[in-house]
């Protein structure tokens, strides 16, 4: 969702704010704006479009001689995309930027009308600015305390008061904020990617605590006025990880980073002679005691990783597993108790529906384990146990390396769980771990197919509809291939369990329609071949993806991609790479903005 940055110190605010907004642009990119404090008061520059548009506008406005300011990239929720609706918003003494949704903004607007305050935009944020202004009598902390009792919904605010130059106040509830004080001053942002140039040390702003930032220090207080010392965290990646590094797009860079992100995620958890070990993650073996059911819940791509996890856990641990879309799960009155383990998956660790799913699970006494990429994120903090994926920052909106890192954690978890429960022997477990390690060189080899895939995608880019089909693990992969293609190429596609096609959907398969057919699983290979023949008989253009060791008849495909040979259970890793490259090159051939597809944003912190 929206990106926030704030700075006060001894650097040029323009440089910090605009640089930060460029780094945060992946979070929201329909408009951008900054407010800065100079000798004339608080000045605002904002515009629709990309941060580059804002840059131009800032260059045109003379001056901007300031060491304190706030900046925002927007992903519209309330009110369309317009200059007026862009942040910052001001009312009287107050100028704010906001990430989140104020749910009771209508009621507040009616109340505030009685004080003579009327919005000029259609945003909930401007109503919040009006609220802060209506409560302000010179004491910012008191104003924020009072405002918090009235605001409902999720928010992260940075607030400037015109009579307090050089001071930025912040508060958050649900929406992310991290902060750091470094030699050049005090910094706050939605995400460390905006601050990594200045510090590797930071803290996650605790919810509903007031942050007061000056050039000299950051003070964090509770709503009752107690000063607290927030827990410091360290970023274990450097600036190069948050830059394109010679690749044309972040997505391609992140696809190619997967051997490393998997190595970083898997290797520290293999100990004791090739057995999985979660002791450094503080996950005790007793986590599995008394569990008779697992629910995996997440959104989008993370949920698709869960579909693969289900197959693994059921096969190896022999425990029933269901996979639920988090936004359905949270309102679905699920049956949960202390014998249920709820596993959530999230790259950002801030996805509102996934977070709500954890809260619901805990309320009903289920045990919770999350697989998360962002350290110290809300989902990580609120879960009983966390397995971090060490994928590094994922900037492209389409998730790639986080997905395969999530898969690797689910594989490790399945092996560990099965071993602890005595479902597999140490020898069998070590054998599985060996196969998992073999995935890394296999992915390296698969990445060399990128030129071949690029060529195939030239024709795919011309289509408006296509299908992905597969069975078992390949069906789970088809769901992922389909969302990836849709989100960045805007081609309509459907993922179908291959056996289900003839129950309705086959009527859509006509001459020339591409059908990306995943056939990596030996146990259903002959069934898949029959399904492929069915679509070919209706004129489909078949792109066949098989595991290296399977025999393939030339008459059943138009294009064939043979994956590096892996044990069938591990083929999702290499298949995922091919599907990611298909989505990537198709989007490139359609001339689209791969990293920032329309209407989407990276971290979905609203429902």
Catalytic residue list: 2, 602
518 vs 527: CA distance, rounded Å? 12
H runs (alpha helix) in 101-173: 105-113, 124-135, 140-150
Q: Which is nearer to ligand F6R, 371 or 498 (CB)?
A: 371
Helix/strand/coil (H/E/C) assignment for every residue in 179-199? EEEECCEEEEECCHHHCCCCC
Q: For residue 583, what are the β-bridge partners? A: none
Q: Which is nearer to ligand F6R, 95 or 354 (CB)?
A: 354
Rounded to a whole number of angstroms, the minimum distance from the CB of residue 403 to ligand F6R is 7
Rounded to a whole number of angstroms, the minimum distance from the CB of residue 406 to ligand F6R is 8
574 vs 532: CA distance, rounded Å? 21
The answer to whether residues 417 and 275 touch, using CB atoms and an 8 Å cutoff, is no
The residue at minimum Cβ distance from ligand F6R is: 300
Q: Which is nearer to ligand F6R, 324 or 487 (CB)?
A: 487
Rounded to a whole number of angstroms, the minimum distance from the CB of residue 99 to ligand F6R is 15
The answer to whether residues 72 and 27 touch, using CB atoms and an 8 Å cutoff, is no
Rounded to a whole number of angstroms, the minimum distance from the CB of residue 170 to ligand F6R is 22
Q: Which is nearer to ligand F6R, 28 or 33 (CB)?
A: 28
Q: Which is nearer to ligand F6R, 86 or 301 (CB)?
A: 301
Give me the count of residues in the chain.
607
H runs (alpha helix) in 212-343: 250-256, 258-266, 300-317, 326-329
**Count of C-beta atoms within a 10 Å radius of residue 427:** 8
477 vs 304: CA distance, rounded Å? 7
Rounded to a whole number of angstroms, the minimum distance from the CB of residue 189 to ligand F6R is 17
CA angle 367, 371, 377 (to 5 degrees): 95
Rounded to a whole number of angstroms, the minimum distance from the CB of residue 354 to ligand F6R is 5
Q: Which is nearer to ligand F6R, 471 or 602 (CB)?
A: 602
The answer to whether residues 346 and 296 touch, using CB atoms and an 8 Å cutoff, is no
Question: Which chain residues interact with ligand F6R by CB under 6 A?
Answer: 299-302, 346-348, 351, 354, 398-399, 483, 487, 603-604
Give the DSSP letter string of 201-250.
EEEEPPTT-EEEE-SS-EEEE-TTS-EE-PPEEE--S-GGGGS-TT-SSH
């Amino acid at each position: 969702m929206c990106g926030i940055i704030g700075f006060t110190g001894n650097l040029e605010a323009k440089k910090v704010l605009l640089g930060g907004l460029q780094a945060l642009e992946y979070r929201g990119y329909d408009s951008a704006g900054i407010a800065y404090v100079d000798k004339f008061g608080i000045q605002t520059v904002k515009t629709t479009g990309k941060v580059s548009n804002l840059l131009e506008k800032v260059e045109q406005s003379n001056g901007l001689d300031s060491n304190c300011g706030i900046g925002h990239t927007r992903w519209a929720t309330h009110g369309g995309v317009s200059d007026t609706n862009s942040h910052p918003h001001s009312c009287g003494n107050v100028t704010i930027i906001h990430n989140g949704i104020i749910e009771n903004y209508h009621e507040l607007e009616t109340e505030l009308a009685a004080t003579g305050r009327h919005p000029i935009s259609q945003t909930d944020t401007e109503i919040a600015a009006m609220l802060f202004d209506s409560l302000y009598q010179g004491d910012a902390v008191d104003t924020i305390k009072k405002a918090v009792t009235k605001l409902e919904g999720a928010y992260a605010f940075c607030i400037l008061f015109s009579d307090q130059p050089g001071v930025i106040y912040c508060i958050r509830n649900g929406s992310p904020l991290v902060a750091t004080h470094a030699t050049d001053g005090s910094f706050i942002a939605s995400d460390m990617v905006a601050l990594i140039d200045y510090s590797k040390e930071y803290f996650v702003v605790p919810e509903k605590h007031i942050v007061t930032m000056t050039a000299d220090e950051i003070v964090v207080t509770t709503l009752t006025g107690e000063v607290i010392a927030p827990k410091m965290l360290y970023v274990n990646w450097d600036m190069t990880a948050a830059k394109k590094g010679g690749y044309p797009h972040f997505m391609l860079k992140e696809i190619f980073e997967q051997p490393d992100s998997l190595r970083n995620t898997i290797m520290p958890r293999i100990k004791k002679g090739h057995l999985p070990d979660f002791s450094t993650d503080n996950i005790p073996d007793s986590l599995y005691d008394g569990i008779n059911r697992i629910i995996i819940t997440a959104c989008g791509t993370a949920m698709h990783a869960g579909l693969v996890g289900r197959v693994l856990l059921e096969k190896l641990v022999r425990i029933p597993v269901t996979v639920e879309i988090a936004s359905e799960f949270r309102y679905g009155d699920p049956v949960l108790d202390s014998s249920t383990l709820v596993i959530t998956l999230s790259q950002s660790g801030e996805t509102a529906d996934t977070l709500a799913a954890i809260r619901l699970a805990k309320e009903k006494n289920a045990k919770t384990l999350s697989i998360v990429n962002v350290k110290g994120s809300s989902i990580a903090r609120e879960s009983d146990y966390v397995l971090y994926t060490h994928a590094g920052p994922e900037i492209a909106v389409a998730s790639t390396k986080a997905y395969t890192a999530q898969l690797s954690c689910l594989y490790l978890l399945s092996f560990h769980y099965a071993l602890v429960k005595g479902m597999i022997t140490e020898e069998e477990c070590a054998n599985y771990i060996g196969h998992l390690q073999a995935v890394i060189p296999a992915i390296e080899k698969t990445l060399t197919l990128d030129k071949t895939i690029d060529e195939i995608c030239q024709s795919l880019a011309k289509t408006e509809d296509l299908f992905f089909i597969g069975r078992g693990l390949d069906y789970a992969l088809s769901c992922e291939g389909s969302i990836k293609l849709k989100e960045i190429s805007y081609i309509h596609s459907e993922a179908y369990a291959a056996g289900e096609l003839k129950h309705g959907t086959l009527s859509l398969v006509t001459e020339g329609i591409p059908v990306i057919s995943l056939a990596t699983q030996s146990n259903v290979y002959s069934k898949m071949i029959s399904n492929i023949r069915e679509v070919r008989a209706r004129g489909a253009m078949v792109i066949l993806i098989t595991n290296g060791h399977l025999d393939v008849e030339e008459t059943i495909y138009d294009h064939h991609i043979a994956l590096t040979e892996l044990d069938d259970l591990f083929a999702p890793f290499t298949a995922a790479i091919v599907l990611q490259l298909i989505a990537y090159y198709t989007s490139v051939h359609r001339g689209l903005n791969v990293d920032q597809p329309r209407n989407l944003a990276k971290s979905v912190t609203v429902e």
